[in-house]
Amino acid sequence: MARFHFHIEENGRLIPDEEGKEFFSGDQVRKEAIATGASIAREAFMTGSPCRVVIDVREEDAPFLRVSITLDIEEKDEG
Amino acid sequence: MSSDVIPAALVRRLRTTSAVTDEDIKAVDALPFSVREYPAERNIVSDGQRATECCLIIKGFCARSKTTSEGRQQILSIHIPGEIPDLMSLHLHVMDHDLSTLTPCTLGFINHDALRLLHRRQPNLADMFWRDTLIDAAMFREWIVNVGQRPAPARLAHVIVELRERLKVIGRIEGNSFEMPLTQEQIGEALGITAVHANRVIKQLRQEGIVAFHRGRVEVLDENKLLELAGFDGRYLHLSPAL
């Protein structure tokens, strides 16, 4: 079992995760990062401001994986 | 433990929510409770189990939950002293969810037969307990709205305000702080978000000066902001016989 830290970036603003959380497998970490990124992005995108959410997962200090979610809207040109 | 201490919180709650008489209270006091101590995070009655007794929380906090086939747990409700979270097992014989302790608990178990006898002898009490399970259902409706429709910070704010309103009834608020003994993981399971997302929401409420969590307690930092964020309308708790 290893301890992982999930640092969150919303539009470049960093919300560090000092405590971290223990996981048994890399697959669990990946699932937690995707589910977290998707639910934070859903709320952030709905409220309007951020258009990019990144979950930067580190095992102790070493980079483990990054999940990046970007909102990209193309509106049809009315003209 | 003397018999008048066992249902004290229950009596206090019933006096607030229902039009009870002194005779009703005497009958509740006389119920044959079997008192047992439970450690934290232990199942009291499990999904699929056939129940023969109901459990009154005398001390401590409990939660009801359900686990999906993939192993994801959803906390359905949080329970405090004075509540009988599995009262429905009197009529619904096999449990369809788990009831477990969050903290070490003192629990008073009442045999179904004793409760049935009480209901036959005092229909007023049967009505009162029926009303209790209906309020339970009203709280579940609010929980569904919370998890399904509110953004995560508002969801947490709503759970906090509801818990506080219920703790108020049994006199368990100290100044602007009260017990909410849930881990980050359990807050996530109550709100339907991951533990990491729950951690972010807890931090956000702290940074915005709304509430702070310290070791299983919540301190309200800004009452108005908290109520505004939660969008709380307490009618569904039916905390008066007139409601």
Residue A30 CB-half CA count within 13 A? 3
Q: Would an 8 Å CB–CB cutoff place A65 in contact with chain B? A: no
Ranges B3-7, B42-46, B72-76, B238-242: which has the least confidence? B3-7
Chain B: closest CA distance from residue A1 (Å): 17
Beta-carbon separation of B196 and A6 below 8 A: yes
**B2 vs B166, higher pLDDT:** B166
pLDDT > 90 in chain B, percent? 91
Q: Is the dihedral of CA B58, B62, B65, B70 positive or negative?
A: negative
Write down the ipTM of this complex: 0.89
* pTM (global) more than 0.90: yes
Are A69 and A37 within 8 A, CB to CB?
yes
Q: Read off the pLDDT band of A79 (50, 70, 90).
A: low
Q: Is the pLDDT of residue B233 over 80?
A: yes
Smallest Cβ–Cβ distance between B199 and the set A17, A39, A47 belongs to A17
Question: Model confidence at B204, in pLDDT bands (50, 70, 90)?
Answer: very high
Q: Rounded to the nearest 5°, which phi and psi values hold at B174?
A: -115, 110
Q: Which of A40, A45, A49, A56 would best serve as a mutation to test chain B binding (most B beta carbons within 10 A)?
A: A40
pLDDT score for B1: 47
pLDDT for B6 equals 87
Give how far B198 is from chain A: nearest CA, Å: 9
Give the separation between CA A75 and CA A64, rounded to whole angstroms.
Answer: 36
B38-67 pLDDT per residue, tens:
999 999 999 999 999 999 999 999 999 999
A32 interface with B at CB cutoff 8 Å: yes
Nearest to B196 among A32, A43, A46 (CB): A32
Q: pLDDT grade, residue B83 (50/70/90)?
A: very high
Pull the structure tokens for residue B196: 């990491």
**Burial label, B144 (beta-carbon count in 10 A; 0-12, 13-18, 19+):** exposed
